[in-house]
Structure 1
Amino acid sequence: MAEYQSITSRKINNRIFSRILYFFPIQLVFLHIKRNHILLLFWLLLFLYITGNLGVGFGIDTLFLAPIYMGEISYFSYMIMGFSLGGFIMAFHIYSYILFSRDFKFLATLSRPFLKFCLNNMLIPVLFIGLFIYQIFKFLSIEELIPTLKILGYIISLMLGLFVFYMLSILYFIKFNKNVFVISGKTEIYYDDLGNNKVKESNFIKTKKNSRVNVDKNTWRVDTYMSSLYSINLARNTDHYEKELIQKVFTQNHINASIFELVLIVSFLLIGLLRDISWFNIPAGASIFLLFTLLIMLFSVFYSWFKGWTLTLLILGAVGFNYLSNKWDLFQFRNYAYGINYEYKPRYNHESLYNIQNNGSSINNALKENIEILNNWSHKNKTITKPKMVFINTSGGGLRSALWTVHVLSYLDSITNNQLFQKTHLITGASGGMIGASFYREEYLNNNIDSVDPNYTIMKHKVSKDLLNPLAFSIATTDMIYRFKSFNDGNYSYTKDRGWFFEKKLVDNLGCFKDKRLFDYKTPEYQSHIPMMIFSPSVVNDGRRLLISPQNITFLCHLDTTIFGNNIAYENLEYKSLFKNNNPLNLRVTSAIRMNATFPYILPMVLLPTEPKIEVMDAGLRDNLGLSTSVSYIENFKHWIYKHTSGIVIIQIRDKERKTTMKDKQSGSLLSKLFTPLTNVYKNFLKIQDYKHDEILNNLKKSYNGDIHYIEFALKEGSSDEISMSWHLTSKDKKQIYEQLYTEENQKSVEKVSNLLLH
């Protein structure tokens, strides 16, 4: 008896274990892991994004956790996020259903089989939603400093958006989703009787002996499934159902799902095409959900049509597109600098560059013109004692550098009675730092600093506004397709892309630079009303630096040819001389700023009208601080500077400290060691620039007889590592940047600037 009870108990335990193991949601997860690697890759990316394990340095996590719509975090922005997440989850269900439904024949016998499948396929989405809500709550409370009650409102808005999309989907699939009973016209009792051998043959569809359809082959075992949120049923046996009938059910469901997919794809493309309208500029995180949705649905549609040939055809299509892009201009998507003429194409070769750089009359005229600018600076700063001449170098680093630069400049001007900018002659640098410096100079030119914004709060608020959202939105929402749209700038026409969106958003955020050209700054710089500014984007093709200024600065590009002769390799190119026939001074200042801040992949490289074609990108690739430009300028006019000033003050505004930390590269995983040569180059290239800068400053000290004062303002390493190098800043990021000016090292620098400029 005891043995019988033991056997019975084991059978019951085995049955319970079996029904748990072969529970439909669990089996679907196993099947995803076995076959559905493409979808799992999308989920993995999303999990990594929201947890800050991927792209956090560029602020990708903020796109999801603190979505921005119409310029602010709002309930509506979270509702849009929820709606978009619902679209992605539904795409996940549709693709999974098309891929797996024939492995689960019992689905065809259920009412609304697709909706039942979605319910059982929710394990991964539910895990994601739960983690997403937790990450949102943590991020908003810690990084954005938002009250708990408001955060709960945002989370409710997220779930509301998700619910709305699900309800729309359910209404569609309730109407069009059919099972074997609807398609066959037979009742459930009929098939139950058939299973009990009371009905021997179906009069609706007869099985064909040579049918190519075999839904029995390689079916996946399922014992139990969720029939609703609150009930679990046993899976129905389907051996007595006609195979062709089950096949017909799945085919009909797949067609309905594909129609739903096509509607969503068209809607997604329309959002991209209408993104000129501010209402259609949805949060970038939502657009990433939609991009993933689009990719899944396209793959799903292809799979519905081509089955096992899908991946092969997609690879062939990608190879073919790549080939066509190399042959036809139609497939070559270029970004342009707005305002210049692209019809005329100057030669870009050694002989042409040699002639430009060694044009004696151009060099002499440039030197004379800059002496006049220096004399105007001297007249402006005429006092009993000789003034100090200030050179400002500001580093790249996204919005953190832009805000840090404005914060430092405004503070130094406030404690020196505006003597800082009064005595500044030249500003150079890269990326975000030059955005901040350009904005500060523009406000200084327009007399908006003291009169309109005495505490600089408005200025800091403007420069720290989000720029990442429109860029990410542009990348995600069919940037390639949208490039077929164009706009006119005077007599010239250019295509629209995320470069155009970046400039538009920059103008909107800052409230200045609209329709401003390089020539608008020629006279103010010449008269020394404002400091000179030189942009120096890097030429991708050969690594040279393109020096952009409204003034003539050919002397900065000239080298003594007595040693190398005609074989000398010029590092610097003057923009005005190279493009003298392309209306160079008509260049939008926002385009000059953008070229100087074109971080790879975030912004498109800018094509310039030469033959052969060249493209330019971020100045930080060659000189993240622009120090080499400043020192070269000083070297050319060191005698004038020595005679008319009491010394040089070089102020560097850096987004990172100049500290060298050693890491043991012998430790780490095998995979990390494999990539060590590449990661070392990437991580150390700014340090390499620092080593070169130290050498340049040392040589300047030897060649210049006057006083040279070097002053540095830097974000501390711990802080700058936490603040992402992106075009988005959180409330916590801004707070940290403001506090950094009061560190011991930076306060010593403040005191040094004050002593030099006021005494």
Structure 2
Amino acid sequence: MPSSNEIKAFIKGFYYSFPVQLFMLHLRRYQVFLIFWFILFSTVNGDFMSTFGADALFLSPEYLGEVNWLGMVIVGAATGIFCMSWNITTFILHSNQFKFLATTSKPFLKYCINNAIIPLTFIIFYIVKNVLFDIHSELLSAGRIMLLISGFLTGITITVIIAFLYFFRTEKSMMRTMEPVFRDPKAFAKQFGIGGKHFHEKGILRVEWFFNTSFKLKMPRNVSHYSQEFIDTVFKRHHFTAVISIIFAFLFLALLGMLMDKPFFIIPAAAAILLFFAILIAASGALAYWLKSWWFPVVLVIILVLNILFEKEIIDPRNKAYGINYTNRKERPVYNRDSIMQLCNIQQMEADKQHMIGILEKWKQKQTEEKPLLYIINVSGGGTRSATFTLNVMQQLDALMQGNLMNKTFIINGASGGMLGAAYYRELFRLKQQGKSINLQDKRYTENISKDLLNALFSSFVTRDLFAPAQQFETEKFKYSKDRGYAFEEQFSRNTDRILDYPLKNIISDEAEAKVPLMFFNSTITRDGRKMMISTQPVSFMMRNWPDSASGISSEADAIDFAAMFRKQDPYDLRLLSILRINATFPYVLPNVWLPSTPIIDVMDAGMRDNFGQESSLRLLNVFKEWIKNNTGGVVFIQIRDRKSGEWEDGYEDPSIGGMFTKPVMTLQNNWMKMQDYYQDEMTEYGNNSFPFSFSKITFMYTPLPKQKGAALNFHLTQTEKLDIRRSLQSAENAASFKRITSLEQRSSKDVSGEMR
């Protein structure tokens, strides 16, 4: 049994070991770099942004449309790059703390070995979590899981080998350069100042032992007889080598951005995030090393200069709506109250109303009943989970209605992901009407809409937005910069077989003739919260409530008719893909889109204003209530939503000290959708009581199965999440809703004048 002195000696030796001292050094200095590790650990563990599916991006990375070995190799390589960036940056910043390494061969390799506590812990932690995730969420076999893990380790190994080969080669080159000086004592004394300042300790860090390149314990060498000039020269040459490696990494990312139009070069989102973190660490380290205490003033000056260049429009990183005219500066519409109210004057509203009644009449002519049911579909935002659930519901509804869902639907409203799924389904129906061989019930289409979109987004952000922003593409008339907005559109277009890749003008006729349902594509104007409504038809009557001349009540416009406001900017040349992206501009994930007005306005996700589409639909019903009363058997108001209403089952978080500080900020964020629910439920109730026609609201909700946490709110779904969404159609609530649709259809065919409730 060891004595107490031996135990004390062991503890002392352990504490003053180089690995432990480096770990303690990271905790004491430049703690900002530890934030990156904290984010990675908490993300992989499912604690950071788990509701948005951040853990799935790391644990089931897709490449070329599937989770495969090569994708894991790329994630492993990105992990290796991040670890090497961490090692290089901290080696540069902390080298004055361990002077003894300058007198050893391969000092950077020794540093990496002894600095491996955090990287090695993360790699082991990632592998464990990945195996568990693949078993429970991706439903993979043991053999497949082992193959994927081998890919991850292969990627790390390749990156580390390449990095060290580079450093070994440059070190040999450095030693060949310095060898003549070492062999000549006079030259050595002259260059490195023999007799000058020397070190009288092993370094600022007290180190008793370290691991050498053979992973054997070794005592550090006393460097008191070396001059400061010599040690500084050795480290500076290694620093230069490290900086060159970072520059090569930057150039590689820029090259990758230029090649991103090829799916082969779209790396997994997790790899893109890791590369982004690696860049941030390298850039932060460079600023701290070269500028010392001047880094903050220099960064501030850079920001001010960039802001001036931005204001003068010398640089313009803002995203645009592809297809419309941004060059016609002299005829940009003025965005103020007077110009907005002019767009929705009573004469214009009446003219647009009569135009829409003409479309309603054409819709009615297609129906077989004298007074048919008028279907309105409202879909909610919610990323790919909402798009997938929406398409699943529409397929099943169409099957129940013998293929007549689109014929009986007059308009589709909504936000974000739900509109992606609805637009895709409507386009499939349109192509079928044109004679294309399409089975609307084919599950291939639900698989298409559920394909990954995040890889292209994050890859573009890291490789194109940051390092290759000068690339451009051309539409029919204009050129635009490629960024993550463009990457999103291209990936969505590939996922949906490019059937939505056309300008808005291509569908004007089909909507005007009621061959397909109308769609109102909304977004939120960040300046004042108004809706920006994009439609093929004039919709000034949707900009505000209809003025009541008897009471004198005239409301302000809370929406804008896009085509009317930007009539001189070729509004109907706007790409449908851009319209869908604008409608689904999730904050930060996708860039806000700026529009050519004076002053400039920008728009973002429709869900900020109306995540469920009901607000616009209820206004439409109010405007045309007399026509609906006289010409239909009532309205079937379908709501397809990607989340439960109420959500009492979720419970409440226990109070905490941190919660006391974050609650004022997070209350609005956490309750935004619930407040919309309260408001729209009340509006629906008012409408139901005031409409002079039968009104039936039927809701379909995505409800996760018991013991399932539910699909994440993002543009990526795991296999388990896709399966959970399909199974959700069979829930008791949704089964009852499908039954109500069947009942309404049967009663409509027998007695359209009966009560539909």
Q: Same fold (TM over 0.5)?
A: yes
Q: Counterpart of 1:110?
A: 104
Q: Counterpart of 1:658?
A: 645
CA RMSD of aligned residues (A): 2.9
User: Which of 339, 342, 345 is equivalent to 2:332?
Assistant: 345
Q: Counterpart of 2:727?
A: 739
Task: Note if contact 2:585-2:591 (Cα within 8 Å) is conserved in structure 1.
Answer: yes
Q: Counterpart of 1:590?
A: 577
Per-residue deviation, 1:178:
6.6
Per-residue deviation, 1:53:
1.3
Structure-1-length-normalised TM-score: 0.91
* Count of residues in correspondence between the two structures: 739
Q: Counterpart of 2:663?
A: 676
Per-residue deviation, 1:743:
0.9
Task: Note if contact 1:453-1:459 (Cα within 8 Å) is conserved in structure 2.
Answer: no
Instruction: Measure the CA separation in 1 of the matches of 2:598 and 2:437.
Output: 49
Task: Note if contact 2:373-2:632 (Cα within 8 Å) is conserved in structure 1.
Answer: yes
Per-residue deviation, 1:10:
4.7
Per-residue deviation, 1:452:
3.1
Instruction: Measure the CA separation in 2 of the matches of 1:564 and 1:329.
Output: 48
Matched, 1:488 2:482: no
Structure-2-length-normalised TM-score: 0.92
Task: Note if contact 1:420-1:757 (Cα within 8 Å) is conserved in structure 2.
Answer: no
Once structures 1 and 2 are overlaid, which stretch shifts more, 393-402 or 252-261?
252-261
Matched, 1:335 2:325: no
Instruction: Measure the CA separation in 2 of the matches of 1:662 and 1:80.
Output: 40
Instruction: Measure the CA separation in 2 of the matches of 1:221 and 1:183.
Output: 32
Q: Which aligned pairs between 1:5-84 and structure 2 lie closer than 5 A?
A: 9-84=3-78
Per-residue deviation, 1:393:
0.5
Instruction: Measure the CA separation in 2 of the matches of 1:650 and 1:375.
Output: 19
Instruction: Measure the CA separation in 2 of the matches of 1:683 and 1:511.
Output: 36
Once the two structures are superposed, what CA deviation does each residue of 1:149-201 show, in whole Å capped at 9, x if it has no partner? 1111111111111111111122122223379998876999x9xxxxxxxx9x9
Once structures 1 and 2 are overlaid, which stretch shifts more, 575-584 or 555-564?
555-564
Instruction: Measure the CA separation in 1 of the matches of 2:14 and 2:312.
Output: 58
Instruction: Measure the CA separation in 1 of the matches of 2:269 and 2:332.
Output: 37
Instruction: Measure the CA separation in 2 of the matches of 1:520 and 1:597.
Output: 21
Per-residue deviation, 1:554:
1.7
Instruction: Measure the CA separation in 2 of the matches of 1:205 and 1:646.
Output: 97
Instruction: Measure the CA separation in 1 of the matches of 2:575 and 2:621.
Output: 28
Matched, 1:709 2:692: no
Letter in 2 for 1:312: F
Q: Counterpart of 1:194?
A: none
Q: Counterpart of 1:435?
A: 420
Unpaired runs of 5+ residues, structure 2, are 748-757
User: Which of 82, 87, 112 is equivalent to 1:93?
Assistant: 87
Q: Counterpart of 1:364?
A: 350
Instruction: Measure the CA separation in 1 of the matches of 2:190 and 2:563.
Output: 82
User: Which of 593, 608, 613 is equivalent to 1:626?
Assistant: 613
Letter in 2 for 1:472: F
Instruction: Measure the CA separation in 2 of the matches of 1:757 and 1:451.
Output: 27
User: Which of 542, 546, 556 is equivalent to 2:528?
Assistant: 542
Task: Note if contact 2:253-2:467 (Cα within 8 Å) is conserved in structure 1.
Answer: no
Q: Counterpart of 2:150?
A: 156
Once structures 1 and 2 are overlaid, which stretch shifts more, 555-564 or 351-360?
555-564
Task: Note if contact 1:81-1:285 (Cα within 8 Å) is conserved in structure 2.
Answer: yes
Unpaired runs of 5+ residues, structure 1, are 1-5, 191-198
Identity %: 32
Q: Counterpart of 2:717?
A: 729
Instruction: Measure the CA separation in 2 of the matches of 1:202 and 1:612.
Output: 67
Matched, 1:232 2:217: yes
User: Which of 452, 477, 495 is equivalent to 1:509?
Assistant: 495
Task: Note if contact 1:205-1:242 (Cα within 8 Å) is conserved in structure 2.
Answer: no
Q: Specify the SS of the correspondent of 1:264.
A: helix
Instruction: Measure the CA separation in 2 of the matches of 1:655 and 1:206.
Output: 70
Letter in 2 for 1:463: I
Instruction: Measure the CA separation in 2 of the matches of 1:22 and 1:142.
Output: 42
The 3 A distance-change label for structure 1 pair 684 and 101 is same
Per-residue deviation, 1:620:
0.9
Letter in 2 for 1:520: N
Instruction: Measure the CA separation in 1 of the matches of 2:110 and 2:203.
Output: 21
The 3 A distance-change label for structure 1 pair 217 and 161 is closer
Per-residue deviation, 1:531:
1.0
Once structures 1 and 2 are overlaid, which stretch shifts more, 499-508 or 322-331?
322-331
Q: Which aligned pairs between 1:390-429 and structure 2 lie closer than 5 A?
A: 390-429=375-414
Per-residue deviation, 1:758:
3.1
Once structures 1 and 2 are overlaid, which stretch shifts more, 513-522 or 388-397?
513-522
Q: Specify the SS of the correspondent of 1:331.
A: coil
Instruction: Measure the CA separation in 1 of the matches of 2:176 and 2:600.
Output: 64
Q: Which aligned pairs between 1:119-198 and structure 2 lie closer than 5 A?
A: 119-177=113-171
Once the two structures are superposed, what CA deviation does each residue of 1:211-264 show, in whole Å capped at 9, x if it has no partner? 5x8685961111111113542122222223333322222222222222222222
Instruction: Measure the CA separation in 1 of the matches of 2:530 and 2:649.
Output: 30
Matched, 1:685 2:685: no
Task: Note if contact 1:110-1:179 (Cα within 8 Å) is conserved in structure 2.
Answer: no
Instruction: Measure the CA separation in 1 of the matches of 2:227 and 2:342.
Output: 84
Per-residue deviation, 1:109:
2.4
The 3 A distance-change label for structure 1 pair 669 and 563 is farther
The 3 A distance-change label for structure 1 pair 355 and 565 is farther
Per-residue deviation, 1:561:
6.8
Task: Note if contact 1:274-1:280 (Cα within 8 Å) is conserved in structure 2.
Answer: yes
Per-residue deviation, 1:610:
1.0
Matched, 1:223 2:208: yes
Instruction: Measure the CA separation in 2 of the matches of 1:521 and 1:215.
Output: 81
Per-residue deviation, 1:108:
2.0
Instruction: Measure the CA separation in 2 of the matches of 1:655 and 1:721.
Output: 13
Q: Counterpart of 1:195?
A: none
Letter in 1 for 2:736: K
